[in-house]
Structure 1
Amino acid sequence: MKENLRWIVFVLAANVMICQKLVITKRGPIVGQKEDGYYTFLGVPYALVNEENPFGASSEYPKFDEAFNASDPDVKCPQILMNEGGVIQCLTLNIYVPKIALKESVPVFVWFYGGGYVFGSAGLYHGKLLVKKDIIVVTVNYRLGPYGFLCLDDPRVPGNQGLKDQADALKWINENIGAFGGDNEEITIAGESYGGGSVDLHLYSKYPTYFNKAIIQSGAAEARRMFVKPDYSAAIKLANHLGSTNSTTNDDSIKFLKQVDPLTVMKGASKLGMVLTVCKEKRYESVRNFITDDQFHLRNPFRIKNTPIMIGYNSKEAFDTFANKSEEVYQKASTFIYDNFKEIFDLKEDALVRLTNIVHSYYMGGKPFDSNAMLELIDMSGDFILNRAIESSVTRFIEQGAKKVYKYLFSYIGGSIYENITGVGAYHTEELQYLFHSVSPGKKFTAEQKIMRNRMTTMWSNFVKYGNPTPNVTDLLPVEWLPITSEGSRVYLNIDLDMSMKDQLYHKRIAFWDLFWSSYWKKAKMVTKKCRTKCAS
């Protein structure tokens, strides 16, 4: 009986060893899991949040004395939208490693999720599809809401901590990915929506360059609400809202808020209507800044010249906002431009009304705000929120000497729930299902969608490997994707079943907003009075 028990224990232990993978990093041993053709290392900590000041700088995670069991894909930072939950010690990575990395060094793809800096997690983006293209995939958790983007007139909380978390993750990857078979000289950073905007900002940050390629999907530094004018009293307001009776300073507020349940803090910020995103940081001695410029004055020509960039957006970014929605949604849209102008600009009421009417006239042509104007409203809101901002990023890259800028428009609607609506286009986030494996039960792809998925993952992984999404024309990739080579060029790849190179996407609409912003950027509340008179546009 004892011999049988020993044999059973031996077999079970052997099976465990076969199904696991041990790597020895500079931070200590990490145990991952064997999957179908690749390995996973999930929930690997890269930094430690200071619980005495969870809104400020993190520190290096302590070395592992024993093998770290990297098997938790669901770690996430505190959040209350979509999927409420999260923990303070959330700075982790999910790492997907192809088998080939056991034999040779492979390039690395690092993903920053979107979600408006209020929701999202590394676990939402399963790397199964991309890792099978022989690249390492790393998805990054970073702090959100007040924990990631409280921006105070205080060196302890100077702002943009969520972006600094991303930079800390890149440092960890640079130092440790070699243990997984990754090439730390071939690291591509990528993201979508605010994650894409984060990538845009990493191209200009004050931090070291831990990457050599960038992919920006449906995001940009100048996107709506990507930057905000900081409220230096936000911590005090939040503490008092949550029941503090003596929070009159940042010190009082931080001491109070660190003891409050993180989800309560997130709910409090939401209740107060706080918009906590990227800020123009103040400079302090002994404090490393991420960004000290506003979105109109970002410069780093050396980094731009040496970084191949892929950037683009979807054909109807705002389609999901209006399709099949009630007439109440359309009525609310009648104040969308005015409300945003009022939030963004220091302008008198008559100027706000006049400019709003000009925009409405250009897009609506006198149509009332109802469902008959769905396509016009989709274009207006999509251009204002995102499309023009992305085109502005492209212009900035070219002006600062970028050698390779691959621009795209994702137009495929074969998997859209709105496929049968007249004028349908690909909406915000629609391309993600063709890059990341869906863990939704019952999710099935048609043969056509599988072709699109293979096409997308091949182009993205080609860019990670070679800095060129179409190094060879094939049956799968029948068109050579040409980069933008001059300021006057705006060539882009239309990504659909029928691939084609085109030029000057939405050029009249983009020119309208370019003219607007060139006239009014100095009136933006983000821009300091000093900069309005001395800064170049």
Structure 2
Amino acid sequence: MRVLQLLALLGLALQVFGEDFVVVNTSKGQIKGRDEGSYNTFFGIPYARVDEEKPFGVSSPYPHFTEPFEATDSTINCPQVNLAHSSIQCLRLNIYVPKKTDKKLPVMVWIHGGSFIFGSAGIYGGQYLVQHDIIVVTINYRLGPYGFLCLNDPEVPGNQGLKDQVDALKWVQQNIEAFGGDPRKVTVAGESYGGGSVDLYMYLNTRKLFDKAVVQSGTAQADAMFLKPDYRAAIKLAALFNYTASNTKDALKFLAQKDPLELMKEFNSSGMLLRACKEKKFKGVQSLVTDNPLHLCKPKKVKDTPVLFGYNSKEAFNIIANQTDDFFASNKDVFIKELNRTFNFNRKELLQIASIVKKFYMGSKAVGQDTKLALGDFWADFRLTHATEASVTRLVDQGAKVYKYVFSYIGNSKFKNIPGVGVYHTEELQYLFELGEEFGFDPLVEPEQIQMRERMTTMWANFVKHGNPTPETSDLLPVRWERVPKDSRPYLNIDVTMEMFEDVYHDRVAFWDLLWHNYWRKSKILS
């Protein structure tokens, strides 16, 4: 009887349906999940409802369940190209729960990447992380125009996808205790644009819904993570269907009637970019993002927050590996194109600065096979590496407790036999999650690969539990991971041999520090 009373106090399952199912009592009603042996899963739980007549705007709380909700479907995706099994009612989350009943467990909430146009919660399996006595939650959020129209309209002011993420975090705060989780110990984590979202969370105009953060290969300051609003975006989207909208509201009404998959295909083929933005303020409408990424400052909110922040050793290597001469010929003006996309330079200034950047990376050589490694370094630095270093500096200056890493292990890389190989974007994820086929990674079978997975999941779980990825050293974790102080930049190089180093790519970082110091006012986000 005491055991049953303890389970009831923790809000855990008191009913078992056969050998495979388990039911949890939440504030929303009963949720029926699956017994996986050493852990339980609850898939496809709705945390909010989309207004299908106004699918680009604010959602509403999901109604209470009148009967046990069957939480066994992880395949529900938000509308996106190449995924037919999607639904506008996609605001779902998945939960992996260890079979622990004697104490409340810390929680990791995962925000997927995908340029805000693709990805889903269901392709990240939490079965390895959950073995370390943490609860893992993965969430969906609206993508493309459904999540990131930034308009001069109070019903769609912008960042709806980010607001969906916040709604999911609120759901976790209200309900995770029923699954045995501790709402006071919630780590929000993400990769790529999901990581950029996490970086932004510390500066949103909302109460803090987490106590720790993990940012992998992403940052609020990354190239194209944050754009200047295009108030005519809805009208332009309607025009793709040969519909001439008289105004934004007319365009939104028309677009709301389109098949979501058809709309996402037209949007994707148009080349339009929709990202996070600085929202226009409207009376009676709470804005979520009111600063641009170059002026993020909330030291009272950031201070003392543990943050695990890092990236992979060669983020853009997959872009340049195994490419033909035609690829490099088509990118002979890449420095001009990239700078022009980000800065408002006049033509003369653009050509001069692009020439300086090219010389820094390639000297007098042209873009080609023999300079592809330099091109990869440029793309990585311009799009992510420098922005990450700037974000680390911002967080440290505002009092965060930052642990910085570079992931360098190439043991399962499909490019590991190519000279100059490094770890490309997303490659570290296979050592944290059981990933969907979309990622194209081979299964981890070698002892060294399995050890790396154990090492990564242990450090990440340690951080979720303690705010420190290496609270103690061991054979698995032989090096103590040092925090970043204000006056230096130590980082853990995660590889077969774990080592602490200083000032990664310091010359390249300093180059971009100098360029941004001189030209930040010409950023297209600001000007």
TM-score by length of 1: 0.93
Secondary structure in 1 aligned to 2:19?
A: helix
* 8 Å Cα contact 2:492-2:499 kept in structure 1: yes
Secondary structure in 1 aligned to 2:73?
A: coil
Match of 1:508 in 2: 507
1:408 aligns with 2:405: yes
Match of 2:481 in 1: 481
* 8 Å Cα contact 2:78-2:89 kept in structure 1: yes
Match of 1:286 in 2: 284
Q: CA shift at 1:309, angstroms?
A: 0.3
Q: CA shift at 1:213, angstroms?
A: 0.2
Match of 2:58 in 1: 57
Secondary structure in 2 aligned to 1:306?
A: coil
Counterpart-to-counterpart distance in 2, 1:170 and 1:500:
35
Counterpart-to-counterpart distance in 1, 2:332 and 2:293:
27
Q: How many residues align?
A: 510
* 8 Å Cα contact 1:192-1:219 kept in structure 2: yes
Match of 2:26 in 1: 25
Counterpart-to-counterpart distance in 2, 1:219 and 1:261:
31
After superposition, what is the alpha-carbon deviation per residue over 1:333-370, rounded to whole angstroms, capped at 9, x for unaligned?
32222112222222210111111000000000112211
Q: Which moved more, 1:493-502 or 1:339-348?
A: 339-348
Secondary structure in 1 aligned to 2:295?
A: coil
Match of 2:129 in 1: 130
Match of 1:428 in 2: 425
Secondary structure in 2 aligned to 1:291?
A: coil
Counterpart-to-counterpart distance in 2, 1:106 and 1:252:
48
Counterpart-to-counterpart distance in 1, 2:249 and 2:140:
27
1:241 aligns with 2:240: yes
Q: CA shift at 1:34, angstroms?
A: 0.3
Write out aligned runs for 1:319-398 (5 A). 319-398=317-396
Counterpart amino acid of residue 432 in structure 1: L
Counterpart-to-counterpart distance in 2, 1:271 and 1:460:
37
Match of 1:38 in 2: 39
1:254 aligns with 2:252: yes
Secondary structure in 2 aligned to 1:148?
A: helix
Write out aligned runs for 1:515-534 (5 A). 515-528=514-527
Q: CA shift at 1:300, angstroms?
A: 1.1
Secondary structure in 2 aligned to 1:517?
A: helix
Match of 2:445 in 1: 445
Q: What is the aligned-residue RMSD (CA, Å)?
A: 1.4
Counterpart amino acid of residue 106 in structure 1: L
Q: CA shift at 1:445, angstroms?
A: 1.9
Q: CA shift at 1:443, angstroms?
A: 2.5
Counterpart-to-counterpart distance in 2, 1:73 and 1:331:
43
Match of 2:469 in 1: 469
* 8 Å Cα contact 2:76-2:85 kept in structure 1: no
Write out aligned runs for 1:295-314 (5 A). 295-314=293-312
Secondary structure in 1 aligned to 2:23?
A: strand
Identity rate, percent: 52
TM-score by length of 2: 0.95
Q: Rate the CA distance shift 1:15–1:137 in 2: closer, same or farther, 3 A.
A: closer
Structure 2 segments unaligned to the other structure (5+ residues)? 1-14
1:205 aligns with 2:204: yes
Counterpart-to-counterpart distance in 2, 1:303 and 1:84:
41
Counterpart amino acid of residue 261 in structure 1: D
After superposition, what is the alpha-carbon deviation per residue over 1:275-332, rounded to whole angstroms, capped at 9, x for unaligned?
0001111111221211111110111111211310000000000100001111122223
Counterpart amino acid of residue 433 in structure 1: Q
After superposition, what is the alpha-carbon deviation per residue over 1:141-185, rounded to whole angstroms, capped at 9, x for unaligned?
000000000110011000000000000000000000000000000
Write out aligned runs for 1:189-200 (5 A). 189-200=188-199
Secondary structure in 2 aligned to 1:338?
A: helix
Match of 1:532 in 2: none
Counterpart amino acid of residue 498 in structure 1: T
Q: CA shift at 1:439, angstroms?
A: 5.0
* 8 Å Cα contact 1:49-1:59 kept in structure 2: yes
Counterpart amino acid of residue 468 in structure 2: N
Q: CA shift at 1:248, angstroms?
A: 1.2
After superposition, what is the alpha-carbon deviation per residue over 1:364-403, rounded to whole angstroms, capped at 9, x for unaligned?
011221111121111111000100000000010111122x
After superposition, what is the alpha-carbon deviation per residue over 1:42-67, rounded to whole angstroms, capped at 9, x for unaligned?
00000001111111111101111111
Counterpart amino acid of residue 185 in structure 1: R
Q: CA shift at 1:273, angstroms?
A: 1.6
Counterpart-to-counterpart distance in 2, 1:166 and 1:335:
38
Q: Which moved more, 1:132-141 or 1:288-297?
A: 288-297
* 8 Å Cα contact 2:412-2:442 kept in structure 1: no
1:67 aligns with 2:68: yes
Counterpart amino acid of residue 93 in structure 1: L
Counterpart-to-counterpart distance in 2, 1:61 and 1:204:
27
Q: Rate the CA distance shift 1:305–1:428 in 2: closer, same or farther, 3 A.
A: same
Match of 1:77 in 2: 78
* 8 Å Cα contact 1:79-1:85 kept in structure 2: no
* 8 Å Cα contact 2:16-2:22 kept in structure 1: no
* 8 Å Cα contact 1:96-1:128 kept in structure 2: yes
Counterpart-to-counterpart distance in 2, 1:96 and 1:108:
10
Q: Rate the CA distance shift 1:67–1:85 in 2: closer, same or farther, 3 A.
A: closer
Secondary structure in 1 aligned to 2:200?
A: helix
Q: Rate the CA distance shift 1:442–1:315 in 2: closer, same or farther, 3 A.
A: closer
1:498 aligns with 2:497: yes
Counterpart-to-counterpart distance in 1, 2:36 and 2:503:
44
Counterpart amino acid of residue 329 in structure 1: F
Counterpart amino acid of residue 349 in structure 1: R
